[in-house]
Amino acid sequence: MLDIKFIRENPDIVKENIKKKFQDQKLPLVDEVIALDKENRELKTRADFLRGERNRLSKQIGGLMAKGQREEAEAVKKQVADMAAELKACEEKEPVYAEKIRKIMLVIPNIIDDSVPIGKDDSCNVEIQRYGEPVVPDFEIPYHTDIMESFNGIDLDSARRVAGNGFYYLMGDIARIHSSVIAYARDFMIDRGFTYCVPPFMIRSDVVTGVMSQTEMEAMMYKIEGEDLYLIGTSEHSMIGKFIDQILDEKDLPYTLTSYSPCFRKEKGAHGIEERGVYRIHQFEKQEMIVVCKPEDSKTWYDKLWQNTVDLFRSLDIPVRTLECCSGDLADLKVKSCDVEAWSPRQKKYFEVGSCSNLGDAQARRLKIRVNGENGKYLAHTLNNTVVAPPRMLIAFLENNLNADGSVNIPVALRPYMGGIEKIYPKK
């Protein structure tokens, strides 16, 4: 969310940014919120004047009564009463204006970084760099659920009977790999100086509106009926929410945290074959990283965060690439974002396994996350990135470590978490 003062002083910059994001339908909102802000400030100025005059005149009443000037005192009383009535009307309007302004401010997008490529949708995202050599083996690689089923490692039919489509049972060696990857990712981030956290898996609505855009919220979040609680779509939500309405000491920055959680998402809409199985699901587990830092440090941390994910995947022998998200593919709160995509030898292409985002001070402004610095208070910057999110990550893991006989190699880095075994073998 932008500062209303910034919009007031830079309407052309805000409008140009909206155009870059191909959201022209939002252009009238800039003039609308500026007009509402002007009316609101005039209302507050009038209310302050009335309070001052009321107090000044009220003091006169006692003096006039003491002098026996009852008629004059009554006239002043009437003035005070009239002012009190007008002041009450002003005070009743103030929250109405504030709410109208807030609702508009929540949908005006954040100013994107100058380096972001301009494009309408994800088809305009730009490849930055590849890491590792993509390999297509000389044997056929089955669909990922077929690989898992060969190990008796997945049961989708039972999951449908229990919870419906978009859920799964993982079992045996496949479930063990899943848990091992999460544990390895946890320790990988701890070794890089991040503090490990297990956050709440539900958050209140004020946190939801603080960490994500309205369109994201409606498309993703599950609401707990009858309560002001939502299931988290990612632990970033509750981890950033941890700092809501806090004044942080500058000397304690940056906060570098890595969090484990289950994640719950609606994932509405029909999807093709490549998004069936365990690719696009309602429930999964994830290791996340978040940073709360000084504004001047956020660009440096952005590069460190996505590099962490690249390094983790390469340590598991999985080729990856980074992809710069274009303007039209950025959520409204994001300043800059890139995806990490893993190589799929079966599809002979890359697919998304993580996303790194710099949100500037947008979340901090909504959640009132301030920093007490040498020169006064300022808003922190927040960033987040996926460390690893199985079971989608399992697709890349299984395909890239599959052998012709159906066995799967366990990379050296993961073997301590798998009891030392170097390979798993299919059951059928």
My answer on whether 77 and 132 are in the same domain is no
Residues 6+ apart with CB under 8 A from 21: 109, 112, 327, 328, 330, 332
pLDDT of residue 216: 76
Neighbour count for residue 423 (Cβ, 10 Å): 13
Q: What is the pLDDT of residues 154-178, one digit of tens each?
A: 999 999 999 998 899 999 999 999 9
| Positive/negative CA dihedral, 243, 188, 173, 316 | positive
Query: Can you point out the beta strands (E) in 116-155?
Result: 126-131, 154-155
Of the residues 105, 134, 159, which one is the last residue of a structural domain? 105
CA-to-CA distance for 24 and 36, rounded, in angstroms?
A: 20
Do 202 and 331 fall within a single domain?
yes
Pairing label, strands 283-293, 381-388: antiparallel
| Same domain, residue pair 73 and 128 | no
Q: Are residues 39 and 176 in the same domain?
A: no
Do the domain assignments include residue 86? yes
Place of tokens 């509402």: 36
Question: Is 169 a member of any domain?
Answer: yes
d(CA 412, CA 407): 16
- pTM of this prediction? 0.89
Quote the number of domains for the chain.
Answer: 2
Task: Please give the Cα distance from 415 to 316 (Å, whole number).
Answer: 10
Do both 416 and 308 map to the same domain? yes
Per-residue pLDDT of the chain (428 residues; tens, 9 = 90+): 899 999 999 999 999 999 999 999 999 999 999 999 999 999 999 999 988 888 888 878 777 777 778 788 778 788 888 888 888 999 999 999 999 999 999 999 999 999 999 999 999 999 999 999 999 999 999 999 999 999 999 999 999 999 998 899 999 999 999 999 999 999 999 999 999 999 999 999 999 999 987 777 777 899 999 999 999 999 999 999 999 999 999 999 999 999 999 999 987 654 554 556 888 889 999 999 999 999 999 999 999 999 999 999 999 999 999 999 999 999 999 999 999 999 999 999 999 999 999 999 999 999 999 999 998 999 999 999 999 998 889 999 999 999 999 999 999 999 999 999 999 999 97
Task: Tell me whether residue 111 is in a domain.
Answer: no
Q: Quick check: is 128 in a domain?
A: yes
Answer yes or no: is 116 within a domain: no
Domain presence at residue 114: no
Asked if residue 337 and residue 217 are part of one domain, the reply reads yes
In this structure, are 144 and 34 located in the same domain?
no
Full residue range of the structural domain in which residue 388 is found: 122-424
Residues 154 and 96 in one domain: no
The domain boundary residue, chosen from 73, 105, 137: 105
In this structure, the answer to whether residues 316 and 355 fall within a common structural domain is yes
Does one domain contain both 15 and 144?
A: no
CATH number at residue 97: 1.10.287.40
Last-in-domain residue among 105, 138, 172: 105
pLDDT on residue 79: 84
CATH number at residue 320: 3.30.930.10
Domain match, 184 and 55 both: no
Residues 73 and 130 in one domain: no
Confidence (pLDDT) at 270: 46
